[in-house]
A and B are shown apart, each in its own frame.
Chain A
Amino acid sequence: MFAWLHATALAETIRESSYLFPWIESIHVLALTLVVGSISIVDLRLLGIASRDRSAAQLMAEVLPFTWTAFIVALLSGGTLFTSHAVGYAQNFQFRMKMLLLALAGINMLVFHLFTGRHAARWSQDHPIPWQARLAAGISLTLWIGIVAFGRWIGFTNVQ
């Protein structure tokens, strides 16, 4: 399948153009900084470090649609970059680690929203944010730092 992706017209166009890859990559970096930054805003609120003048539930309702929009852009631009050297990326250790951490971040988010996060509207000064939510926020921050690190590291490896 990766060989097929590699051979598509889209992949070939990107490989042969000298400016398409940097442009798509710039869009990918813009989108990913907005994903990671906006997730950090929520995680830091859950940890009680920032935005304490706003309730966690209000903040999540406001920020997460923004996060998802940026995530879709990051996914599409990243997917496009991937096709250009699909076989090479699929075998690249740093790329695989990035995908693994991304999957773990997804599972962590799902567990949080299905269980602890459902009761977010109730959290207040009388009902402090439970430790499960703080744990999910800590895991999320750690995973996203790892995703950015492995993503940047791909640029220092030789992807064919």
Chain B
Amino acid sequence: MAQSVHAFAVWLSNTPLSLLIQNVSWIIPTVQTIHILSIAIVMSSVFMLHLRIIGPMGRGQPLAAVARRFLPWIWCTLVVLLLSGTTLIIGEPGRSLQNPAFLAKMSMLIAVVLLTLFFQRGLRRDALFWDSSAGRRASARLIAVVSLLLWVGILFAGRWIAYMTDTSA
């Protein structure tokens, strides 16, 4: 498994697209800047939504309204993050694909996407779904706390990719 990932990384780093990204010096910093700006949008939207569920933010408005405002931003910006992140991987496959921080980041990302879809499915069924009983309110709060931790973990792991790699950051 590890060997085939390594072989794939070597193959990818020799493709014309990867060589182009490697040889044009401004591409990686520019794509990383787009990636961080997108993370800013996702993280802030995530905090606004989850702090509304946990308590301190936006008390004056229904949860469904806050979710309707921020969830589309999270999903749309996640697409930008996948595209910019894929560009960075193609440019430096050796830096990421076999990197434990990268693997941790992707695992947490899959977990938080599933959790967000589950949360959203409840709201789709009924706008008051997560307010309709004490049990559901507690579940929503638990989902919010776990999601926040996962997103912070994703961001930290993302920064650590630069420090857990053989090639230069």
Show the binding face of A for B, using Cβ within 8 Å.
Answer: 22, 25-26, 29-30, 32-38, 40-41, 50-51, 53-54, 58, 62-63, 66, 145, 148-149, 152-153, 155-156
Contact B44 A37 (CB under 8 A): yes
Q: A33-B40, A149-B33 are in contact. List 19 more A-B contacts (CB 8 A).
A: A25-B159, A26-B155, A29-B39, A33-B43, A37-B42, A37-B47, A40-B40, A41-B44, A50-B73, A51-B69, A53-B69, A62-B58, A148-B33, A148-B40, A149-B29, A152-B29, A152-B33, A153-B29, A155-B162
**Which chain B residues have a beta carbon within 8 Å of chain A's beta carbons?**
28-30, 32-33, 36-37, 39-45, 47-48, 51, 57-58, 60-61, 65, 69, 73, 152, 155-156, 159-160, 162-163, 169
Q: Do residues A62 and B44 form an inter-chain contact, with CB atoms below 8 A? A: no
Cα of A149 to Cα of B155 in the assembled complex, Å: 17
> Which residues of A are found within 8 Å of B33, using beta-carbon distances?
145, 148-149, 152-153
Main DSSP-derived SS at the B contact region:
helix
Chain B proximity of A129: nearest CB distance (Å): 18
In Å, the complex CA distance between A153 and B152 comes to 23
B60 and A37 form a contact (CB under 8 A): no
Residues on the A chain within 8 Å of B69, using CB: 50-51, 53-54
**Residues of B contacting A22 in the complex (Cβ-Cβ under 8 angstroms):** 159-160, 162-163
> Which residues of A lie under 8 Å from residue B47 when comparing CB positions?
34, 37-38, 66
7 A-B contact pairs sorted by A residue (CB < 8 Å): A29-B39, A30-B156, A33-B43, A34-B44, A37-B42, A153-B29, A155-B169
Residues of A within 8 A of B61 (CB): 54
Nearest B residue to A18 via CB reads: B163
Q: Which residue of A lies closest to B28 (CB)?
A: A156
